[in-house]
Structure 1
Amino acid sequence: MTNPLLAEWDTPFGIAPFDRISDDDFTSALQEALAAHRAEIDAIASNPDAPTFANTVEALEVSGQALDKVLSVFFTVAGADSNPAREALQRDFSPELAAHQSAISGNEALFARIAAVWEARDALDLTQEQARVLMLSHRGFVRAGAALTGDAAERMKEIKARLAVLGTQFTQNLLADERAWFMPLDEGDLTGLPDFVIDTARAAGEEKGADGPVVTLSRSLIVPFLQFSDRRDLREKAFRAWEARGANGGETDNRAIAAETLALRKERATLLGYDNFASYKLETEMAKTPAAVRDLLMSVWKPAKAQADADAEVLTALMREDGVNGALEPWDWRYYAEKRRAAEHDLDEAALKPYFQLDRMIDAAFDCANRLFGLEFAALDVPLYHPDCRAWEVTRNGKHVAVFIGDYFARGSKRSGAWCSAMRAQAKFPREQAPVVINVCNFAKGDPALLSYDDARTLFHEFGHALHQMLSDVTYESVSGTSVARDFVELPSQLYEHWLDQPEVLEKFATHARTGEAMPREMLEKVLAAATFDMGFQTVEYIASALVDLEFHDGEAPADPMARQAEVLSSIGMPQAIRMRHATPQFAHVFAGDGYSSAYYSYMWSEVMDADAFAAFEEAGGAFDAERAEALETHILSTGGSRDPAELYTAFRGRLPGIEALLKGRGLAA
């Protein structure tokens, strides 16, 4: 029988046939797909005809399609619905895939052909997109080490293989720590907790097989517990467990992995002729240099820290009123910030939360996409990899645009965080190919499922990424959708968050879970007025993580990353009661792979643009201005990586932005 991963998928819109795929299919499918890809690469490299864009670059574009099918399914389930078999497969596959990619980038005959096309580029009459694809292909090979020879080339292969192993292990260690810890709660431990937190804790207890409610390390549960629990001792216990993920000693400890990863990245950069890994990594980003990143982060750090320090004094005073002496601690901040928010903005999270139903927020995201871009969403009844998943067909003017899959609920088999990926990316070459896009989140399950305002923002954020994939309109898959510079990729996602804040959106979709009534205007105004509440805390915890990431990679690799982390935080005057958003042993953005290494700053770099971009709507006809929406799609959402990001943003806005709109949007402007 044909392996279902490699067969033609006779499913609606070519969605993977998850009901016919088992874990036993992955190894044989991968081996067959790898062999097919090697044969395709060998055919390109040994082609006796003179190198051309068509027989070399375009041939590379269409190679590996069977491998893409296998890996799109595997990495989807490995990240969102893991199990011991899939974790073992991932450990096996990671070095094998790294070796496969190294063999391609190290293929001298193949690189010689790409280099020949590159040298002849001015005489080839290429389209703008073709010229971009050629440049990216040539640059990618050079940066992967294609020009290295002898011992240096062999060492580069070894480094890549080892980094792949380390990244996989880092992720699995973190998931293991998050899955293993939970704190049972007796009835007396529930004081201060609103019903929605207790309900979530009971559901978590059922999943863990406990007799009653529990607190887990899922952000959707531990954060509200830290906000509302009157039990300072339990808040401390839960926070310390959360902070200790990846640093508990034993087999799941990530600290040695982080140190080895940083050393290997530095060696990799040195082999390629760079002073350090940050210089290597940032060369292809909008920021270009570590100095530019540092300047941005520090320009925002100063007002953010001043705000956080002022807030700490207020929270400490509230703590004293409760008779608690000593310093304000990290397990106190959210608790007293919530008390302050309730007092200053008259906002009760327990009263607010029923207005943010998951289904209504999904409807809101869809409705905004319809008003802005004419997209329509119809539910699909198709087999998916988990019962929690849902799918929709996306159309415009009756024409199929994409398939969108949502996987929204937290579970022990899913890694933490939220993300968007394309199981199939949009392309027109060698044939029309519509995207299949997935959003994965970690919201607390409930009946109905209720979100915090921050959760709803996350939903809009990830859907902004999805729009970048769904509205892509390029020829070549390598520059499709979110295949853009790391510090540009967050622009569409962070920009889309702004539509959640529009009163007309909340008036329509923020309806009470029990009564169905719209959020009262007075409450809506309080929600919007509190939008920048505690922004000093949020900005400080983020910038601290971004600066530590940058300093890890800008210079010699630290032998002891935890000591270097402490040095960086001390040098910037990190407030004692605030921790990094992602401490080193949990910093999956940076250590689970190279994606955000030296580039965690990119969220803020993109925020500079998203604040300025939304201001363009406000300066025009408002949030749903048709002309600005068309310009956004034309110049940013549809173009993928087919042009330079600075050029794309300038085409949309007429200029590049400054940080003024960002500071204003965060409530940090003087």
Structure 2
Amino acid sequence: MHAHTIRNVLAKPAKAHFRFRGCLHAQKSSQRPPLRYATTLSAPAPASPDDADIIADFDLPQAPHRSSILTPTGLFGHSLLTTPASFINLADSTLLRAQLLTRRITNARGSREELFKVVKNLDRLSDMLCGVIDLAELIRNAHPDPSWVQSAEHVYERMCEFMNVLNTHVELYEVLRAVLADPQVVKSLGPEAHETALIFWRDFEKSGINLPPAQRTKFVSLSTEILVLGRQFLNETASARPPAVIKPSELKGLKDKAMGARLRLQAEFTQRDLMVYPGSLQAQMIMHSAPQEEPRRKVYMAANSSTPEQIETLEKLLRARGELARLVGKESFAHMTLTDKMAKSPESVMRFLEALMDHTRPYARQALRILSMRKQEHLHTEPFPTIQAWDRDYYCPPEPPAPPVALPPLTLGTVFMGLSRLFRNLYGVTLRLTEVAPGEVWHSDVRKLEVVDEQSGVLGWIYADLFARRGKPGGAAHYTVRCSRRTDDDDEHGDFAGVRDESVLGTAQPSRRFDALNRTRIPGVEGTFQLPVVVLLCEFTRPSISRGPTILAWHEVLTLFHEMGHAMHSMFGRTEYQNVSGTRCATDFVELPSILMEHFLNSPIVLSLFDVNGNVPIRQPGHHHEDPCRSIDTHTQILLAALDQIYHSPAVLAPRFDSTAALAHLYDARGLIPYVPGTSWQTQFGHLFGYGATYYSYLFDRAIASRVWRKLFLHDPLNRRMGEEYKNEVLRYGGGKDPWEMVSKLLDAPEMENGDAEAMAEVGRWKIEDEVSVPGRH
């Protein structure tokens, strides 16, 4: 989970009601359960010529863009985005239009007709700003040209500064309050418009908009402090820990004999002990391969150490969040944050975590017993010695994910072809490579895919920037550059009512042209829509003449499927308001589509789609044994989610709050592997900043995704009727519909619709795997 995540409002300068939600980096679902099948499976559609084109374009080294376009353009086809200076010009133009639209909204109470347009205009204002900020966020992370990056940083800061002003704009808040207090106006709002209005309302109130001036000033001060402390905390999580001092004699018998020999030679050459830094290849090797316990203990202690300053930074951050919540009348930061999430409250989160822990604990205990038996046999101890934190990887070395059936090497093009075939079977949608004009993309590696519906035509575009290069961020990410929304009822001319200054009208033109691109009418859907544009960033190996095409490891296939789940959520979202489009939904709901995509890789019939000629045999695997240690890892994730709740509870405002003591107490009370005195791992828990009080979300969505997979797709993964039902009941609504209502209807579980604490507990009882081995059977 990293960098371009769903943003907590306080994690970025941009404020909540103009938030630009991204996604979690790919996290792989650990267990791969046995598969069950219906008697009759839906037959896969054959590969198309477009599928073959995808293979060729992604797999041939330095494949040229298939383009007959000679006229140069700017980034994403915007003719005005040809230089870094033009991007700054676009930002200036957008800020002017935003100021005019803000003035129009604040004057709305003077006109009955304008009052009915307030929600639409607030959403337009958000879209206007987010369209530039999201683009700046992408450019500053992906563009190889430092001048472009510098301009993107400048644009990002200026636009976010304006958002900060809007977030505490009393007149905007008062107008929205007038709208929601007017029965006739409220009655005119459809469900999606009403939900959008409530999003703005809740976010205004989270920002302390209705506080007295002195308290509002305090709110702004605390928000700034939280931002500064959060950045400092993240910097410190990435800082190097001091090395462990390892004696060469402690490395005797290393399983990795080659690495062990190199380390001993290094020690003999320098004639001193080895300095092994946490996170290094040597540290990993020692944790996995050193038979003696002492070097593993030393590496563990070094890796989980903290300075007093690092602990102080975290605790200041947690206290500031607690004070901010109290300032707006909430019991804790968790209470403030979870109001608009599926969970609604920290008490409900704990109901979910307790239920999930009750299910997971027996399997984790059994796994620990197996490790204990291995340790007993290894060290010739009394029965069932205690497994310590540094024993886990030695007695149960982590294994890379693997497919459920034997597969030939999978090239990048082959996997994209399989994705296209899967989407065609499920949704009647294909991926089609399209031409890229000169200047349209930021690097020659980038490929452009049209997402094409068999009835509606083009739904949107995916720009795939998939190969590693110097300066490009690591990991995988899904960026929403432009959301879908309805545009034919914008009444944009009303923004310029009373403006006679030709220079103002001229300055506004670049932004108006920027907004007007990629709009279309969709058959069967009323109105004209802005089509979505997303970018996928990965760090796969580039194909070359010497190495041939890019061959993906299985964890990379999982990553690509995960990120494409986010992308298709953006593509299918057909809401009239951008604030609820696609992945702009509740933090604890947004990972459902991406995690569900990973489940399809458990199906041999889905894996057969990777073979363009249909030669891969589809066979049900035999006994699909799972690594028993994965249940230990799941239990650990539950503990971390519980720790996140503790750290954002009222406890942080107690005078003697001690984050290390809280961690130790949690592990002593609920942990399976003993807490190690002298360690303070919490200073490396980077997600405490971006996912404060919502770290449970990934576990929660894993549980829902497993349930959806079992009920809709397990027995017939290519069933078109089920695919259409999932698309129409979940994906198309984004955040425009209560996710509990969507889940309950999709799963035919009306008892879940109200989303109360019992519903949260029920999701915990659903488990997070499709099927877990019975203890004792491995």
TM-score by length of 2: 0.67
Could you tell me which runs of 5 or more consecutive residues in structure 1 were left unpaired when the two chains were aligned: 1-8, 182-187, 198-213
Amino acid at match of 1:42: R
Task: Provide the residue aligned with 1:156 in structure 2.
Answer: 219
CA distance in 2, matches of 1:194, 1:425: 53
- CA spacing shift, 1:348–1:103, aligned 2, 3 Å: closer
CA distance in 1, matches of 2:316, 2:716: 50
CA distance in 1, matches of 2:531, 2:485: 7
TM superposition shift of 1:165: 3.2
TM superposition shift of 1:336: 3.7
Q: Deviations 1:211-270 (Å, cap 9, x if unpaired)? A: xxx99959xx899968976788998788777656xx578xxx754442222122111211
Partners of 1:51 and 1:113 within 8 A in 2: no
Task: Provide the residue aligned with 1:480 in structure 2.
Answer: 581
Q: Deviations 1:181-230 (Å, cap 9, x if unpaired)? A: 9xxxxxx99987799x9xxxxxxxxxxxxxxxx99959xx8999689767
Task: Provide the residue aligned with 1:204 in structure 2.
Answer: none
Amino acid at match of 1:308: A
Task: Provide the residue aligned with 1:575 in structure 2.
Answer: 673
Partners of 1:535 and 1:667 within 8 A in 2: no
Of 92, 99, 107, the residue aligned with 1:38 is 99
TM superposition shift of 1:28: 6.7
Q: How many residues align?
A: 615
Task: Provide the residue aligned with 2:718 in structure 1.
Answer: 624
Q: Deviations 1:78-131 (Å, cap 9, x if unpaired)? A: 445699989988998887666533321322222111111101145542222222
CA distance in 1, matches of 2:301, 2:435: 43
SS class of match (2:215) = helix
CA distance in 2, matches of 1:583, 1:51: 57
Task: Provide the residue aligned with 2:392 in structure 1.
Answer: 333
Partners of 1:616 and 1:628 within 8 A in 2: no
Is 1:309 the counterpart of 2:365 in the alignment?
Answer: yes
SS class of match (1:363) = helix
CA distance in 2, matches of 1:669, 1:243: 33
Matches within 5 A, 1:81-96: none
Of 422, 437, 440, the residue aligned with 2:534 is 437
Partners of 1:121 and 1:131 within 8 A in 2: no
TM superposition shift of 1:169: 4.1
Partners of 1:282 and 1:290 within 8 A in 2: yes
Task: Provide the residue aligned with 1:424 in structure 2.
Answer: 482
CA distance in 2, matches of 1:190, 1:409: 39
Amino acid at match of 1:646: W
CA distance in 1, matches of 2:664, 2:155: 35
CA distance in 2, matches of 1:236, 1:83: 45
Task: Provide the residue aligned with 1:662 in structure 2.
Answer: 767
TM superposition shift of 1:11: 5.0
Task: Provide the residue aligned with 1:384 in structure 2.
Answer: 441
Q: Deviations 1:40-73 (Å, cap 9, x if unpaired)? A: 3233213543474544221222125553333222
SS class of match (1:63) = helix
Task: Provide the residue aligned with 1:590 in structure 2.
Answer: 688
Partners of 1:194 and 1:228 within 8 A in 2: no
Is 1:281 the counterpart of 2:337 in the alignment?
Answer: yes
Task: Provide the residue aligned with 1:210 in structure 2.
Answer: none
Partners of 1:417 and 1:441 within 8 A in 2: yes
CA distance in 2, matches of 1:216, 1:412: 24
- CA spacing shift, 1:415–1:168, aligned 2, 3 Å: farther
Amino acid at match of 2:605: E
Amino acid at match of 1:662: K
Of 542, 566, 578, the residue aligned with 2:664 is 566
CA distance in 1, matches of 2:442, 2:304: 31
Amino acid at match of 1:611: S
The structure with the largest helix share of the pair is: 1
Of 418, 421, 439, the residue aligned with 1:364 is 418
- Alignment RMSD, CA only? 4.7
Matches within 5 A, 1:599-614: 599-614=694-709
TM superposition shift of 1:314: 2.2
CA distance in 2, matches of 1:64, 1:604: 30
Is 1:469 the counterpart of 2:570 in the alignment?
Answer: yes
CA distance in 2, matches of 1:21, 1:234: 54
Task: Provide the residue aligned with 2:192 in structure 1.
Answer: 129
Matches within 5 A, 1:148-547: 148-174=211-237, 247=306, 255-319=311-375, 328=387, 330=389, 332-338=391-397, 355-380=409-434, 382=436, 383-386=440-443, 388-397=445-454, 399-408=457-466, 413=471, 417-429=475-487, 430=490, 431-441=528-538, 447=547, 448-509=549-610, 518=616, 525=622, 529-530=624-625, 533-547=628-642
Stretch of structure 1 that moved more, 412-421 or 112-121: 412-421
Task: Provide the residue aligned with 1:109 in structure 2.
Answer: 171
Partners of 2:583 and 2:734 within 8 A in 1: yes
TM superposition shift of 1:423: 0.8
Task: Provide the residue aligned with 1:5 in structure 2.
Answer: none
Could you tell me which runs of 5 or more consecutive residues in structure 2 were left unpaired when the two chains were aligned: 1-70, 244-250, 260-275, 491-527, 753-758
Is 1:120 the counterpart of 2:170 in the alignment?
Answer: no
TM superposition shift of 1:481: 0.5
- CA spacing shift, 1:302–1:93, aligned 2, 3 Å: farther
Amino acid at match of 2:480: A
TM superposition shift of 1:571: 2.4
Partners of 1:491 and 1:606 within 8 A in 2: yes
SS class of match (1:432) = strand
TM superposition shift of 1:301: 1.6
CA distance in 2, matches of 1:444, 1:240: 34
Stretch of structure 1 that moved more, 325-334 or 547-556: 325-334
SS class of match (1:406) = strand
CA distance in 2, matches of 1:355, 1:366: 18
CA distance in 2, matches of 1:84, 1:173: 25
Q: Which has the larger radius of gyration?
A: 2
Residue identity over aligned pairs, in percent, reads: 23
Partners of 1:393 and 1:404 within 8 A in 2: yes
CA distance in 2, matches of 1:58, 1:317: 64
Amino acid at match of 1:552: Y
Amino acid at match of 1:337: C
CA distance in 1, matches of 2:629, 2:702: 18
Stretch of structure 1 that moved more, 64-73 or 373-382: 64-73
Amino acid at match of 1:127: G
SS class of match (1:489) = coil
Task: Provide the residue aligned with 2:745 in structure 1.
Answer: 651
CA distance in 1, matches of 2:585, 2:430: 26
Amino acid at match of 2:219: M
SS class of match (1:109) = helix
Stretch of structure 1 that moved more, 41-50 or 126-135: 41-50
CA distance in 2, matches of 1:348, 1:108: 55
Task: Provide the residue aligned with 1:641 in structure 2.
Answer: 735
